Amino acid sequence: MIILPDIHGRECWRKPVEENLGKEHILFLGDYLDPYDYEYIYPREAYEMFVDIMELKKAHPSEITLLLGNHDLHYVDELLAGGRKDYIRADKIKEKLENYSDLFDMAKTMKAGGKSFLFTHAGIKWGWIKFNKELFDGVGTEDIADYLNALWHVKSKRPQLLKALAQVSVSRWGRYAYGSPVWNGIDDMDDNYEDIPGWYQIFGHSQQENDPVIDEHFACLDCRRAFRLNELIGKIEEL
C-alpha cells in the first residue's frame, strides 16, 4: 500500500501514484484543499488538484481509497469550520463532495505482517466512541472502520456523524476530552490512553517539521511525502 498524507494542493502524490498505480493500493489520508500560504500554492491550484484526484479515483475505483479530513469536511458542514477555507470555490467544493460522496471514506483497515492497521485522517480514541455512545451503540472494535464509512455513505445518518466529527479536544483549542478522527492532534494520540485494542493506527493531520512520528502504537505521517506499508512485514517505509 502507498500512503499519501495531507496533500493541501501539493504535487507530492503524482510521482508515487504514476509509479505504483496498478501494482499497489493507493491510500490518501485526506485534506486535499486549503494550502498553506507560506508554500505559495494558490487555493485555485489546490482545487484543480482535488478534481484531478477525484477523477483518478473514478477511473480506478478499486485501486484507490480517498479518506476525508477536516479541511474537506468543513466545506460540507459549518460545524467543522476551520482555517484557510477557500470561500471563492466553497460552493463548488461542497457540491462535489456531496454529489460524489461515494468516492470517499472515513476509515480503512489492512492486515499486514501479522498486524492490523487502522487508517483515518487524525486517529481515533475509544473514549470518543464511548462519548458518542448513542451513535456507536453496539459497535465493536473490529467494526469501527466499516461503521464510520456506513455513517458517511448513508445520507440520513451523515448529519449525526458530522456533529460527532466536529468535536475538538482541548489540546487543539476545543472543549472535548476526546477529539474526533478528523480533529485529533498528535498529543491526543501520543498518551496511549483509550487506544482501540488490536489496531495499529496510521494517520496524518498533525504536520511535522521534517520526519514522521512512528512509535509502537501509531504512526503520524504528515510530512509532505509518500510512504509504503510493506505488506509482508507490516513496516512503514519512506518512498
Task: Spell out the residues 6+ positions from residue 131 whose beta carbon is closer than 8 angstroms to its own.
Answer: 167, 176, 177, 178
Q: Tell me which residue has cell 501514484.
A: 17
* Cell of residue 152, nine digits: 458517511
Q: Backbone dihedral region of 57: left (phi > 0), alpha (psi from -120 to 50 degrees) or beta?
A: alpha
pLDDT of residue 13: 98
Q: Residue range 11-28: average pLDDT?
A: 97
CA-wise closest residue to 189 among 199, 178, 173, 176: 178
Domain holding 159: CATH number?
A: 3.60.21
Strands in 50-154 per DSSP E = 64-67, 104-105, 108-112, 115-119
Q: What contacts 77, CB < 8 A, 6 or more positions away?
A: 159, 162, 166
Per-residue pLDDT of 175-218, as tens digits, reads 999 999 999 999 999 888 899 999 999 999 999 999 999 998 99
Beta-bridge partners for 235: 230
The whole-angstrom separation of Cα 177 and Cα 104 is 27
- Name the nearest CA neighbour of 105 among 160, 169, 136, 61: 61
Q: Model confidence over 55-88: pLDDT tens digits? A: 999 999 999 999 999 999 999 999 999 999 999 9
- The pLDDT, as a whole number, for residue 171 is 87
3-state secondary structure 86-113: CCCCHHHHHHHHHHCHHHEECCEEEEEC
pTM of the prediction?
0.97
Look at the block and give the residue holding cell 512485514.
233
Answer yes or no: is pLDDT of 231 > 90.
no
Contact 58, 36 (CB under 8 A): no
Q: How many domains does the chain have?
A: 1
State which residues form the domain around 101.
2-238
The 10s digit of each residue's pLDDT in 103-118 is 999 999 999 999 999 9
Residue 21, phi then psi, degrees to nearest 5: -65, 130
CA distance 1 to 24: 5
% the chain with pLDDT above 70: 100
**Nearby residues of 37 by Cβ (< 8 Å), 6 or more positions away:** 84
Q: Is the pLDDT of residue 233 over 90?
A: no
26 touches 17 (CB < 8 A): yes
Give bridge partners of residue 116 from the DSSP assignment.
Answer: 111
Nine cell digits for residue 188? 491526543
